[in-house]
A = this chain, B = another copy of it.
Amino acid sequence: MRVGLLGCGIVGTKLVGLINERGPTIEAGSGLRLELAAIAVRSSSKDRGLDLDDSMLTTDAEALVTDPSIDVIVEVIGGIEPARSLILAALKSGKPVITANKELLANVGAELYEAAAANGVDLLFEAAAAGAVPIVRPLRESLLGEDVRRVMGIVNGTTNYILTRMADDGVSYADALSEAQRLGYAERDPTADVGGFDAGAKAAIMASIAFGAQVVAGDVYHEGIGAITQGDIEFARQFSYTIKLLAIAELQDVADGEGSEIGVRVYPAMVPNDHPLASVRGSFNAVFVEGQACGELMFYGQGAGGLPTASAVLGDLVDASLNLRRHTFHPVPSGPRARIRSIDALESAYYIGLTVEDNPGVMSAVAGVLATHDISIKTMQQQEAVPNEDGDQARVALITHTALERDMQATLVDLRRLDDVCDVNSVLRVIGS
């Protein structure tokens, strides 16, 4: 099986090493001989620390994907173009494609899935959903007969590393971020990670597989972790919660209607400490799946890193090669465009952190605002007043029962209008046990 590789960055380099190292075992086990035939790169002169025949490198990716001597294509370039055109060309010439490109799939996945199905070859992408965590295959195959209701995951290692450092070691957000950048966990421009964009793309991909409907990155509501403070973390600890950045996709029944809608969003949330996701620490990822018959499942592992990602790509590569030999292919996500439920119409419990004047009536005023919006309070707490130049100020923190997002937004407007409320510092969703 002659493999053409598009791109040779960190994942590509590790994959070349794994193919060489694991090749004999794979051949012994399955009779499948993986041979690296060509690598398309931008510059053929760069030293990648690989012992490669120079003739294997090419800058002509277009020629590689249609080369009839190549059987299967691995794309690890990233980004939309030229990855999209190259993958389409490869599929059209009957070659299975393995990709780790979440941005591509979350934006133009449907076009690629259709091309794969039309040409009867595999388009596999285990590494695009949660890195080395095997979630695509179980959702596609093990849960084929399952009525999956919700998929909820920690799918970004950078933000989970930052939140773990903040919670375990009392480090500030800014310091934890700098440290993550120094260790290579975070990019110089960390927006894609800390702003929830990366997790949003993964949420769209997982929702498409789990619910059999097209969900794109633009459908995903997202908030980042930049506003989380040590105060929030302290409050969470006190009430046995851990703050995690969650990607959530769930099936929502439509009242008085047919079918269902999908609610899909990324935001930092308070997770109860006895929930399995609360113990996922450092740069690890995990995806929690709830189904009507299977109950609760969780898949845990390394969300990023060259070697773990290359391992997931290699699994797909062997799978696609075996399928090619048997003239078969795995089904791709299909179905109509999803009906997305707007964030305003989603329900959650909430944590609210406020700075208030230390006046006797303030708790009653705050509780009154929630009551006018029919939101009931589960826990409410006033912390010791801290004198400052504007007089004595106190922190009030509360957790509500389930409420509609639009009611909560209206409540926050009214809370900010209260004379005794100086600031609404934090608003976080709270996950049930």
Chain A contacts to B: CB under 8 angstroms:
14, 18, 22, 25-26, 29-30, 126, 132-134, 137-138, 141-147, 212, 274, 276, 278-281, 284, 286, 291, 293-302, 305, 307-308, 310-312, 314-315, 317-319, 326, 328, 331
**A141-B137, A145-B314 known; A295+B308 contact, CB < 8 A:** yes
Contacts of A147 in B (CB 8 A): 22, 25
**A298-B298, A308-B295 known; A328+B328 contact, CB < 8 A:** yes
Contacts of A126 in B (CB 8 A): 142
Task: Check A315–B143 contact: CB distance below 8 A.
Answer: yes
Task: Check B145–A295 contact: CB distance below 8 A.
Answer: no
How far apart sit A44 and B331, CA to CA, in the bound complex (Å)?
39
How far apart sit A203 and B330, CA to CA, in the bound complex (Å)?
29
Task: Check A319–B141 contact: CB distance below 8 A.
Answer: yes
**5 A-B pairs with the lowest CB-CB distances in the bound complex, closest first:** A145-B314, A293-B311, A298-B300, A134-B142, A297-B301
Task: Check B314–A146 contact: CB distance below 8 A.
Answer: yes
Task: Check B315–A146 contact: CB distance below 8 A.
Answer: yes
Task: Check A319–B144 contact: CB distance below 8 A.
Answer: yes
Min CB distance A30 to B, Å, is 7
Contact partner of A302 (CB less than 8 A), chosen from B212, B274, B296, B315, is: B296
Contacts of A25 in B (CB 8 A): 147
Task: Check B146–A311 contact: CB distance below 8 A.
Answer: yes
Contact partner of A298 (CB less than 8 A), chosen from B144, B295, B301, B305, is: B301
Min CB distance A113 to B, Å, is 14
Task: Check B134–A138 contact: CB distance below 8 A.
Answer: yes
**A212-B29, A326-B328 known; A294+B132 contact, CB < 8 A:** yes
Min CB distance A267 to B, Å, is 23
Contact partner of A279 (CB less than 8 A), chosen from B144, B279, B294, B310, is: B279
- A144: nearest chain-B partner, CB-CB: B318
Task: Check B276–A279 contact: CB distance below 8 A.
Answer: yes
Task: Check A302–B295 contact: CB distance below 8 A.
Answer: yes
Contacts of A308 in B (CB 8 A): 293-295
How far apart sit A143 and B312, CA to CA, in the bound complex (Å)?
7
Task: Check B279–A312 contact: CB distance below 8 A.
Answer: no
- A289: nearest chain-B partner, CB-CB: B301
**A26-B144, A212-B29, A274-B281 known; A307+B328 contact, CB < 8 A:** no
- A18: nearest chain-B partner, CB-CB: B293
- A145: nearest chain-B partner, CB-CB: B314
- A212: nearest chain-B partner, CB-CB: B29
Contacts of A14 in B (CB 8 A): 293
Task: Check B294–A312 contact: CB distance below 8 A.
Answer: yes
Contacts of A314 in B (CB 8 A): 144-146, 293
